[in-house]
Amino acid sequence: MERIAVIGTGYVGLVTGCCYAEIGHEVICVDIDPDKVRRLSLGEIPIYEPGLGELAASNQAAGRLSFTTDLARAVQDSSIIFIAVGTPTLENGEVDMQQVRGAVETLARQMNDYKIIVMKSTVPVGTSRRIRQWMEEGQQRPVPFSVVSNPEFLREGTAIHDTFHPDRVVIGSDDADAALRVERLQAAFGGEVVRTDPESAELIKYASNAFLAAKISFINEMANVCEKVGADVSLVARGMGLDNRIGPKFLQAGIGYGGSCFPKDTRAQLKIAQNADYDFRILRAVIEVNTLQRERFVEKVTAALGGNATGRSITVWGLAFKPNTDDLRDAPALDIIRALQERGAVVTAYDPAAASKASALLPGVRCLTDPYEAAENAEAVVIATDWEDLRRIDFDRLRSLVRKPLIIDGRNMFAPAEMAEKGFTYVSVGRPAFPGPV
Ligand code: UDX
């Protein structure tokens, strides 16, 4: 069993810490925010992630998981140190490395004996080498250490499952012994191991996210073509996805991707290429298409309202960037709502998890946790997040509540023909309104 410190109790850090504790390691999670640490110690989980609260509680009770602000003690008590601090994007598109640098510099000062420093945060190419340099500069006396890049691929909402069932484990290091020790640590989770140099490991993370984002933007452009030629993008995606070289996943057309990773990582990758004097044309288009898709959708909603949104009551179902999370970072719904407000619409919103968080971000919008209440007197119901509970909506009840039976679905949740049968005018993305697929 290893003694592990995890620096940063954000999404990645918290999930990583809990999962390692769950397989028997002794884990101490460190954060600079005393209030957060206090709340975590009391069992309050600051993020919405199914199963994480239970995992944290049982491991705290078993004495394998603890939280502290005392980085010095955490470092000295551990042999493997994961860095999982935030790497936000700066105005100019560069990755803000301040938190990583801060953590590494403190780490350097606190080293008492050999440590393996494992980089979990998504960081630009060359970071492993920069960490080595910062460590050497920051140490008061030379203490040996190794640096390993071990990027994280977990998805919000399924983070625990993803950690326990990884498709692959990427380990990039120049130090074979340290790489092997991290590999052994991960062995309990399974997944094919890809051993690389540090630079390749750092790029694999960006390349994977950029490629998935490209799949989404590709199918969204296909959807736009489908609308023009009268085809159905869900059938096109199905036909494409059955080719196992393409695969069916990430071919769901809609209002585009959001969240804390794809928007940030695609922009960062573009910048990384630019800094290396390379214009990554496809990626530039992927990002542009994603922005345009939100704008197109606002046009679609306005058109469905007869070309004018002024003074119209619109209900938006779904605020989080995807289901099973309360994360609103770069959520398409927020942009769409703001654009509808700019056009004069009065917006009421529903989200089962993100409503209260969203009210602070959306002045003038009533954010509720009941889809029916949110839809009262609506002239249009807009679907922005494909929450599972929306699949169980009682459409008769909905029809009796709304002013007009009009649904504009940005996630293609329902079959157009069925919606027409239920008495709704139903507009979706890349599919004919009616009769729809047979
Ligand atoms: C993503 C990666 O999947 C994960 O491997 C990485 O570690 C972090 O970034 P996440 O941001 O949690 O994870 O969300 P994901 O499930 O990948 O969805 C991203 C966005 O794409 C969501 O807004 C989702 O609605 C959208 N999406 C996804 C589509 O629009 N269509 C699709 O077919 C799939």
Q: Where are the domains of the chain?
A: 3-195, 197-437
Give 392's DSSP letter.
G
- The answer to whether the CB of 153 is under 6 A from ligand 1 is yes
pLDDT tens for the 438 residues of the chain, in order: 999 999 999 999 999 999 999 999 999 999 999 999 999 999 999 988 999 999 999 999 999 999 999 999 999 999 999 999 999 988 888 899 999 999 999 999 999 899 999 999 989 999 999 999 999 999 999 999 999 999 999 999 999 999 999 999 999 999 999 999 999 999 999 999 999 999 999 999 999 999 999 999 999 999 999 999 999 999 999 999 999 999 999 999 999 999 999 999 999 999 999 999 999 999 999 999 999 999 999 999 999 999 999 999 999 999 999 999 999 999 999 999 999 999 999 999 999 999 999 999 999 999 999 999 999 999 999 999 999 999 999 999 999 999 999 999 999 999 999 999 999 999 999 998 764 433
Residue nearest to atom 21 of ligand 1 (CA): 257
Place of tokens 């249009």: 380
Using the mean position of ligand 1's atoms as its centre, give its distance from the Cα of residue 229 in Å.
28
Per the annotation, where are the binding residues for substrate? 153-156, 205, 250-254, 258, 322
Output the pLDDT for position 436.
41
Q: Are 254 and 220 in contact (CB under 8 A)?
A: yes
- Give the ligand 1 atom nearest the CA of 385: 25
Using the mean position of ligand 1's atoms as its centre, give its distance from the Cα of residue 329 in Å.
12
pTM to 2 decimal places: 0.94
The CA distance from 341 to 347, in Å, is 7
Using the mean position of ligand 1's atoms as its centre, give its distance from the Cα of residue 210 in Å.
11
Using the mean position of ligand 1's atoms as its centre, give its distance from the Cα of residue 198 in Å.
25
- Give the ligand 1 atom nearest the CA of 216: 31
Output the pLDDT for position 91.
87
- The answer to whether the CB of 262 is under 6 A from ligand 1 is yes
- Please choose, from the candidates 13, 8, 4, 1, the residue with its C-alpha nearest in 3D space to the C-alpha of residue 115: 4
Look up residue 12 and give its two tokens: 């990645």
Q: Establish whether this prediction's ipTM goes over 0.90.
A: yes
Place of tokens 């602000």: 69
Q: Are 181 and 116 in contact (CB under 8 A)?
A: yes
Q: Are 179 and 101 in contact (CB under 8 A)?
A: no
Give 295's DSSP letter.
H
Q: Are 6 and 40 in contact (CB under 8 A)?
A: no
- The answer to whether the CB of 211 is under 6 A from ligand 1 is no
Q: How far is CA 70 from CA 26, 46, 67, 199, 236, in A?
A: 16, 19, 9, 31, 54
Which residues are paired to 67 by β-bridges?
29
The reply to whether 226 belongs to the active site is no
- Give the ligand 1 atom nearest the CA of 249: 33
Rounded to 10 deg, the angle between the 198-229 and 262-275 helix axes is 120
Output the pLDDT for position 434.
61
Residue nearest to atom 9 of ligand 1 (CA): 261
The CA distance from 427 to 254, in Å, is 12
Using the mean position of ligand 1's atoms as its centre, give its distance from the Cα of residue 146 in Å.
32
Q: Are 220 and 55 in contact (CB under 8 A)?
A: no
- The answer to whether the CB of 257 is under 6 A from ligand 1 is yes
- Please choose, from the candidates 104, 191, 174, 158, the residue with its C-alpha nearest in 3D space to the C-alpha of residue 323: 158
The tens digit of pLDDT for each residue in 328-385 reads 999 999 999 999 999 999 999 999 999 999 999 999 999 999 999 999 999 999 999 9
- Give the ligand 1 atom nearest the CA of 411: 30
Q: Write phi, then psi, for 408 (nearest 5 degrees).
A: -115, 110
- The answer to whether the CB of 155 is under 6 A from ligand 1 is yes
- Please choose, from the candidates 5, 60, 22, 257, the residue with its C-alpha nearest in 3D space to the C-alpha of residue 163: 22
Using the mean position of ligand 1's atoms as its centre, give its distance from the Cα of residue 321 in Å.
9
- Give the ligand 1 atom nearest the CA of 261: 9
- Among 19, 29, 226, 261, the active-site one is 261
Output the pLDDT for position 94.
86
Per the annotation, where are the binding residues? 31, 36, 87, 122, 153-156, 205, 250-254, 258, 264, 322, 329
Per the annotation, where are the binding residues for NAD(+)? 31, 36, 87, 122, 156, 264, 329
The tens digit of pLDDT for each residue in 189-215 reads 999 999 999 999 999 999 999 999 999
Look up residue 81 and give its two tokens: 């140190």
Output the pLDDT for position 93.
81
The CA distance from 283 to 390, in Å, is 33
